[in-house]
Structure 1
Amino acid sequence: MKAATMTRFDTRLSAEMKGFLEQAAALGGFKTLSEFVIYSAKLQAEKIVDKHNAIIASTKDQEIFFDAITNPGKPNKKLKSAAERYNKMIKGA
């Protein structure tokens, strides 16, 4: 199996922010600040991507739904049978 290609990501932050993140990393049981930052960034990235994908899926679902409403297919045997049973039930009430 091929090893993953590693790359570097650098950032600048205030000493106060670094201390805060180090504290959070320690409280969270992370061995290093980098491990904590990567884990946290990945979680946030997954939320953003999932939200985006849900919107796209939602848009596709809307298109399918409105297409079905505006271009309904012909009723099949089961639908006709269900409609007949429903009409008999309503007339009997």
Structure 2
Amino acid sequence: MESVKKSRFEMRLSDDDKLLFEKASEIKGYSSLAGFVSAVMRKEAQEIIQEHERILVSNRDKEIFFEAILSSLEPNQKLKEAASRYKELTDQ
């Protein structure tokens, strides 16, 4: 079995936060507060990263779309042929 290297992370909490986190940890069935905090942090981190990547993709898509619309390029031969076929098929 492969061993996983673990790193230490320390954090100070208010008494209220610690009680809140311990209660949630117990409700979810975690055997330790550290396990609960680690799982919650991992889930939140993954969601933050996914959202960030969606925004990057979305912004890149917008740039490509608007660049294509605003460019003054003429349609290439294949596009002209496809438009002709479409017009013939739709009788326009």
Shared fold by TM > 0.5?
yes
Question: Aligned pair in 2 of structure 1 residues 46, 58: CA closer, same or farther (>3 Å)?
Answer: same
The within-5 A match list for 1:22-37 is: 22-37=22-37
* 1:19 counterpart SS class: helix
Q: How many residues align?
A: 90
2:76 equivalent in structure 1? 75
1:46 equivalent in structure 2? 46
Question: Aligned pair in 2 of structure 1 residues 39, 72: CA closer, same or farther (>3 Å)?
Answer: farther
Equivalent-residue separation in structure 2 for 1:4 and 1:71 (angstroms): 56
Q: CA deviation at 1:71?
A: 5.5
Q: How much identity, in percent, do the aligned residues show?
A: 36
Equivalent-residue separation in structure 1 for 2:54 and 2:26 (angstroms): 34
1:18 equivalent in structure 2? 18
Q: CA deviation at 1:18?
A: 1.2
CA distances 1:39-89 after superposition (whole Å, capped 9, x unpaired): 001111111111111111122212222232215464343x33432244343
Equivalent-residue separation in structure 2 for 1:73 and 1:7 (angstroms): 58
CA distances 1:4-58 after superposition (whole Å, capped 9, x unpaired): 3321111111222212111101111211111110000111111111111111112
Q: Structure 1 regions of 5+ residues with no counterpart? A: none
Question: Aligned pair in 2 of structure 1 residues 9, 22: CA closer, same or farther (>3 Å)?
Answer: same
CA RMSD, 1 decimal? 2.5
Equivalent-residue separation in structure 1 for 2:9 and 2:16 (angstroms): 20
Of 41-50 and 80-89, the range deviating more from structure 2 = 80-89
Of 61-70 and 14-23, the range deviating more from structure 2 = 61-70
Q: Structure 2 regions of 5+ residues with no counterpart? A: none
The TM-score normalised by the length of structure 2 is 0.74
